[in-house]
Structure 1
Amino acid sequence: MLLEFLRSWHPRFEPVPAFRQSGALPYAIVNNRVVFLLVTSRKTGRWIFPKGSISAGMTPWDSAAKEALEEAGVSGEISTSAIGAYRNTDKGVPVEIDLYPLRVEAQLEAWQEMDQRLRHWALLHETKRLLSDRALSRIAETLHRQLTVPRLMQ
Structure 2
Amino acid sequence: MTKWLRNIWEEVARPLFLRPRRVQFAALCTRTTDNGPEVLLITSRDTGRWIIPKGWPIDGLSGAETALQEAWEEAGVHAQRPQNEPVGQFTYDKILKDGSAQPVLTSVYRIEVQDLAEDYPEAGQRKRVWVSPSTAAERVNEPELRELLLRM
TM range (shorter): 0.7 to 0.9
- Whether 1:15 and 2:20 are equivalent positions in the alignment is yes
TM-score, length basis structure 1: 0.79
Show the counterpart of 1:59.
62
Show the counterpart of 2:10.
none
- Whether 1:132 and 2:141 are equivalent positions in the alignment is yes
Q: Structure 1 residues 30, 93: CA separation in 2 closer, same or farther (over 3 Å shift)?
A: same
Q: How far did residue 135 of structure 1 move? A: 1.3
Show the counterpart of 2:114.
105
Q: Deviations over 1:9-45 (max 9, x none)?
A: xx975735xx211010000001151000000111211
Q: Structure 1 residues 104, 13: CA separation in 2 closer, same or farther (over 3 Å shift)?
A: farther
Distance of 1:12 and 1:134 partners within structure 2 = 20
What residue ranges of structure 1 are gaps of 5+ in the alignment? Answer: 1-10, 145-154
Q: Structure 1 residues 109, 88: CA separation in 2 closer, same or farther (over 3 Å shift)?
A: same
> Alignment length, in residue pairs?
131
Q: Structure 1 residues 12, 85: CA separation in 2 closer, same or farther (over 3 Å shift)?
A: farther
RMSD value, Cα: 1.7
TM-score, length basis structure 2: 0.80
Aligned 8 A contact 2:89 2:108 in 1: yes
Amino acid in structure 2 at the alignment position of 1:79: Q
Q: 1:42-121, aligned counterparts within 5 Å?
A: 42-77=45-80, 78-90=82-94, 91=96, 92-121=101-130
Distance of 2:125 and 2:136 partners within structure 1 = 20
Show the counterpart of 1:7.
none
Q: Structure 1 residues 140, 57: CA separation in 2 closer, same or farther (over 3 Å shift)?
A: same
Tell me the percent identity.
30
Q: Greater shift after overlay, 131-140 or 21-30?
A: 131-140
Q: How far did residue 141 of structure 1 move? A: 2.0
What residue ranges of structure 2 are gaps of 5+ in the alignment? Answer: 1-15
Q: What SS class does the counterpart of residue 63 from structure 1 fall into?
A: helix
Q: How far did residue 69 of structure 1 move? A: 0.4
Q: Deviations over 1:57-92 (max 9, x none)?
A: 110110000000000101213111101111122322
Show the counterpart of 2:43.
40
Which consecutive segments of 4 or more residues in structure 1 shift more than 6 A?
Answer: none
Q: How far did residue 131 of structure 1 move? A: 1.2
